[in-house]
Structure 1
């Protein structure tokens, strides 16, 4: 594309009063019902930038018509899309030839993110996958694509459920069990000195539920004389690890992937029968294995750290990297009690996050802290959804995009470690972000090489697609002759209305340098507007 040099240059830029009592028999006035404030298209698109994997013109209109709350209610009511597992089976990946491959995993992940209508569930599922992490490449199993699919189905099936139920589902999932090495975990053997594997016990507390330090309801760290108070210690890890012994696959039949879809089962002979003590809780000796697991999860779920710890990370994934303590506190309170005495109601938590004043207030658009770097994967999916990208053959040949030197530096399900591609507390060192005491998680996978790789990769994808996966620019091509209308459309749908006037002017100059003539003129103008938008700091920094 002719405007690559302009792209690189642009990407490098910046960084009521009370009434008196009634007299003389006058009737009491009937309070008037406030007229709902109309939702502008840009505000609706911004909402969709938080609540979906990418806005479309149709969804913008839906939000404007239904209201934010109405749109959420409609999304909560949508049935689950075709499961990843069922899609793999329907497309032939359960054939014996695929037993030792990952074929099909990336295809089903990309397809579902891009085309399925249950976009709120998809967005929350991806957020959960970055908190409760597995990496399919490291699974010590055959049928890895099915094991990974079953895990992502667990996240999506429970995205609107209760967090305690989700805790149980990931604990008895084969992919998680092999990724964090507690599959077949055995009780201590005094004759050999072996001890239960502590990996899952540690990460369940550190990364999935509690964090390293005790928290106040607003997410701030509790201290004693200025020293953070630790949430747990080595003895808690060892005690909890005793609980997660004896969990195994429900079947020894490896000729089909079916055993990875069902929960793990307890092998009594491998389970620790003695008492297990952790976090001030003791599970009595002789407690049946699965009952012990459930008691342990109940104890963790009841810990006061869980509401602020989980709430903050969900806010970071959906809205902003640096939510205020008050924002965290409001959402944390809903996590602790949804108003009906229920703890861990994710549907209520999601609604609280997305309808909070800090999420909806337009003041965030001018704030220096209320923003987040768009994840690379969300950039690709946002483009694909905005321009109706499809794969007629169902090949979805996007593949693993985690290579930072030639692709996105991120690919859902391919994290090399349980710490995800980026950590929630990461702050780029020696930057104004770090100096201000802020975090910017996505910057952990952002550097000079990855920025150039992203632009080059997206340039090729925007122009040519990959395989038969291609965008459909038919509608937006009708605006090619009018550069302002073209850029306004790209800004609204793809950039959620967040391009500054200076950025719009710069992109317009580049587009106007391309003649709207010949066989390729209109398409070059459209693709230049899209690429330069996706390279701009205004787009990359979502507010």
Structure 2
């Protein structure tokens, strides 16, 4: 990490603090039955309470959002966010910037910018958080969007699709992704053809496998609380190879909807795929104990197949638990999962799969809101690198003067974040929901810690070095992606006041007093009294707080 002559003790302190970044994270896994409904929330929501809530429900806390949560309460804030209209789509931003010029057909130009712009600044912060969560469950990645060119638009269309359905119904989302051109590209069923008796070629089974394994029911049959069902002490698989082969017949005949056969503009990447009847398998399609009759057309077959999948009892605990993991904690109790599964199966009006109701249940559950859980050493999740960066950006009103948003690809773990939007290395996401870091106390406690799969010595240092530059100079020096620290300037000469505010804003007030005292000692060695020196103190203080385990581990 780079050193400056003005802040040697600060950065020495930072190095000491960052050494404990691989802190344990997880949560309880009680097998007891669900407790009674949670008590009403406290009449007074502190700033720290509001900041903790926003760490789970947004792309990052801001002073204004903290005040709003305090004023209206958790539930009303969620309702306001869900009612908020989405701002300019990623697709429309790319068009407005001229990236639909034919010269860009074979490039990814513009994608990272349109993705980061939404994550860092869109007012519908809850929708962006849920969209990001869904992008890590129903995964497609730009590197695998192959066919027809226009990769930036294909990736933008996929994220826009997830955003559109973030508060909709999960069954509708499954239909949308199963007909989307980007998913057809990524999981290779675009252009999939029926069995060829001459060559012996069978339909591509890629999507049929993953739509079950990753997007809906998982590998093992589950109880409503997320625990595996066992028979005679043995876990039970949800599907077999025969089920994959039978379902693969459904996903034949789908290809781009090329209106007029034109690929000189990217519009066909946004349209749902169309059916080529002659390439669709019309024989019986048997899977998961159900059979779609012979001579059923392609569109009807797809709808019937997804109805069968969605009716499976596994969908609620399998998807519900992953949403809890993406928003609140890595190891929710079985009671928490059971309560969320119940809402997934019935939103109170008899509707299954209502994501708005599920998200609200996750965020308002006693296990998420009760501050006592924050004191449980096993109740937590590692804040993934993208969310660390967005926490900083949101807290300090990051903007792009040029509206270019040149953050770029942040995948490099040694020099950047080790993670970048829609750039997962595989359909299994950046990390598995059941990942256990080996030879750790987390493993010894039989807990999981998904985000640790992309955490190592290189990524820890790379993150800090990247954020040090970003905090101080932004991307591209003074020209792009810069923060506004004006609200911090009046506090900067007083190290204690500055750190106390940053502690609440970034870490929900959880940074230990001893750590704050150590950081204050370091800040007190730095010059003060002018705006230039105040800014240097602000830069150092933010980086120190963002290096603490209390910030990096969300509780």
TM-score bracket for this pair, using the shorter chain length: over 0.9
Q: Residue in 2 aligned with 1:480?
A: 492
Q: Give CA deviations for 1:126-176 in whole Å, capped at 9, x if unaligned.
A: 000000111102211311010011100110000000000000000011111
Residue pair 1:102, 1:143 contacting (<8 A) in 2 also? yes
Residue pair 1:8, 1:452 contacting (<8 A) in 2 also? no
Q: Residue in 2 aligned with 1:232?
A: 239
Q: Pairwise CA RMSD of aligned residues? A: 1.2
Report the CA distance shift for 1:287/1:404 in structure 2 as closer, same or farther (over 3 A): same
Q: Residue in 2 aligned with 1:427?
A: 436
Is residue 393 of structure 2 the alignment partner of residue 384 of structure 1?
yes
Q: Residue in 2 aligned with 1:103?
A: 109
Q: Give CA deviations for 1:345-386 in whole Å, capped at 9, x if unaligned.
A: 000000100000000000111102210000100011110111
Distance between the aligned counterparts of 1:496 and 1:249, measured in 2?
47
**Cα offset, 1:517, TM superposition:** 4.0
Q: Give CA deviations for 1:405-456 in whole Å, capped at 9, x if unaligned.
A: 1111100111121011111000100101011110000000000011011111
Distance between the aligned counterparts of 1:134 and 1:13, measured in 2?
33
Residue pair 1:45, 1:492 contacting (<8 A) in 2 also? yes
Is residue 510 of structure 2 the alignment partner of residue 498 of structure 1?
yes
**Cα offset, 1:225, TM superposition:** 2.1
Is residue 277 of structure 2 the alignment partner of residue 265 of structure 1?
no
Structure with bigger RCO (C-alpha 8 Å, 6+ apart): 2
Q: Residue in 2 aligned with 1:131?
A: 137
Q: Alignment partner for residue 52 of structure 2, among 43, 46, 52?
A: 46
Q: Residue in 2 aligned with 1:90?
A: 96
Normalised TM-score (structure 1): 0.95
**Cα offset, 1:494, TM superposition:** 1.4
Normalised TM-score (structure 2): 0.93
Equivalent residues in 2 for 1:187-202, closer than 5 Å: 187-202=194-209
Distance between the aligned counterparts of 1:280 and 1:505, measured in 2?
63
Is residue 531 of structure 2 the alignment partner of residue 524 of structure 1?
no
What is the SS of the residue equivalent to 2:188?
Answer: coil
Is residue 419 of structure 2 the alignment partner of residue 410 of structure 1?
yes
Q: Residue in 1 aligned with 2:304?
A: 295
**Once structures 1 and 2 are overlaid, which stretch shifts more, 512-521 or 143-152?**
512-521
Equivalent residues in 2 for 1:17-416, closer than 5 Å: 37-141=43-147, 142-251=149-258, 252-416=261-425
Distance between the aligned counterparts of 1:203 and 1:7, measured in 2?
42
**Cα offset, 1:520, TM superposition:** 3.3
Distance between the aligned counterparts of 1:528 and 1:105, measured in 2?
31
**Cα offset, 1:518, TM superposition:** 5.1
**Cα offset, 1:76, TM superposition:** 1.0
**Cα offset, 1:6, TM superposition:** 2.0
Q: Give CA deviations for 1:22-67 in whole Å, capped at 9, x if unaligned.
A: xxxxxxxxxxxx9961111100111011000000000001001111
Residue pair 1:503, 1:538 contacting (<8 A) in 2 also? no
**Cα offset, 1:293, TM superposition:** 0.3
Equivalent pairs counted in the alignment come to 525
What is the SS of the residue equivalent to 1:344?
Answer: coil
**Cα offset, 1:394, TM superposition:** 1.0
Residue pair 1:406, 1:453 contacting (<8 A) in 2 also? yes
Residue pair 2:60, 2:390 contacting (<8 A) in 1 also? yes
Distance between the aligned counterparts of 1:35 and 1:171, measured in 2?
40
Distance between the aligned counterparts of 1:118 and 1:307, measured in 2?
26
What is the SS of the residue equivalent to 2:481?
Answer: coil
Is residue 464 of structure 2 the alignment partner of residue 452 of structure 1?
no
Q: Residue in 2 aligned with 1:533?
A: 545
**Once structures 1 and 2 are overlaid, which stretch shifts more, 217-226 or 153-162?**
217-226
What is the SS of the residue equivalent to 1:494?
Answer: helix
Residue pair 2:208, 2:251 contacting (<8 A) in 1 also? yes
Distance between the aligned counterparts of 2:374 and 2:513, measured in 1?
14
Distance between the aligned counterparts of 1:308 and 1:185, measured in 2?
31
Residue pair 1:53, 1:122 contacting (<8 A) in 2 also? yes
Name which one, 1 or 2, has greater alpha-carbon Rg.
Answer: 1
Q: Residue in 1 aligned with 2:37?
A: none
Distance between the aligned counterparts of 1:441 and 1:154, measured in 2?
25
**Once structures 1 and 2 are overlaid, which stretch shifts more, 497-506 or 164-173?**
497-506
Q: Which runs of 5+ in 1 are unaligned?
A: 16-33
Q: Residue in 1 aligned with 2:31?
A: none
Distance between the aligned counterparts of 1:13 and 1:248, measured in 2?
50
Q: Residue in 2 aligned with 1:471?
A: 483
Q: Residue in 2 aligned with 1:441?
A: 450
Distance between the aligned counterparts of 1:506 and 1:419, measured in 2?
40
